[in-house]
Amino acid sequence: MRKKSKSIGLILAGLAVPVMMTSWGLAQPGKFTSPSEGYIPHLGEIMSAIQARHVKLWYAGKAANWDLAAFELRQLKANLVDAARLYTGIPVSNVTTMAEPMQSVEAAIGAKDARRFSQAYAGLTEACNGCHVSMQRPFIVIHAPTEPQPLGDQSLSPQHRP
C-alpha cells in the first residue's frame, strides 16, 4: 500500500504540484484549525465536488473566463488527488489516465483556445466515464453540461467590474 501511494504521488507529480501550491497559499498552518480536521469524505462526496467543478469548468471555458476555468481545473485535480490518496483501492492506472486529458485542458486554457478547449474537455469527460465503467459504475455517465445552466447562484462569465 505504501509503495502504491508513492507511485501515485510520483505519477501525479505534475498534478500534485499545483495542488500543493494551492494549499500552501490557503492553508496557513496553525492559523485556521478546522474542527473537521481528520474528516474523510466519502468517495461519492469527492465525486460530487468533481462533478460541480466539471460543470463550472465547462461554462467558464464557454464564457472565455479563462482565469476561472484554470481555477476550476486546479480544484478538480485537487479532488482527484484526494480520491487517489484516500481511496487506495482505486487502481493507479485509473487515476493516471486522467493526467493527459487534464494537461490538454490546461494547455487549451493557457492558449485561450475555445476550440481546443471543447476537444480537450471531451477527452477529459471520456476519461471520467472510463473509470466509472472499469470500477463497476457504468451507470454514472458524464457528458458536457447542457442548458439550462445549473449552479445559478454563481456568475461563470467574466465580470467587468468598474
Closest distance of CB 105 from ligand HEC, Å: 10
Site residue total, ligand HEC (CB under 6 A) = 20
Cell numbers for 33: 484549525
**DSSP category for residue 20:** H
Does position 96 bind ligand HEC by CB under 6 A? no
Cell numbers for 69: 476555468
Which residue type, as a one-letter code, is found at position 74? Answer: R
d(CA 122, CA 30): 41
Among 51, 96, 103, 119, binds ligand HEC (CB under 6 A): 51
Among 11, 122, 142, 144, binds ligand HEC (CB under 6 A): 142
Does position 105 bind ligand HEC by CB under 6 A? no
d(CA 26, CA 29): 9
d(CA 52, CA 10): 27
Kindly list the distances between the CA atom of residue 81 and the CA atoms of 15, 96, 127, 158, in Å, as whole numbers in the listed order: 8, 10, 15, 28
Comparing CB distances to ligand HEC, the nearer of 32 and 59 is 59
Does position 81 bind ligand HEC by CB under 6 A? no
Does position 116 bind ligand HEC by CB under 6 A? no
Q: What is the enclosing helix (H) or strand (E) of 12? A: none
Stretch that binds ligand HEC, among 18-26, 33-41, 42-50, 111-119 (CB under 6 A): 42-50
What is the contact surface with ligand HEC in residues (CB under 6 A)?
Answer: 43-44, 47-48, 50-51, 54, 76, 90, 94-95, 98, 124, 128, 131-132, 135, 137, 140, 142
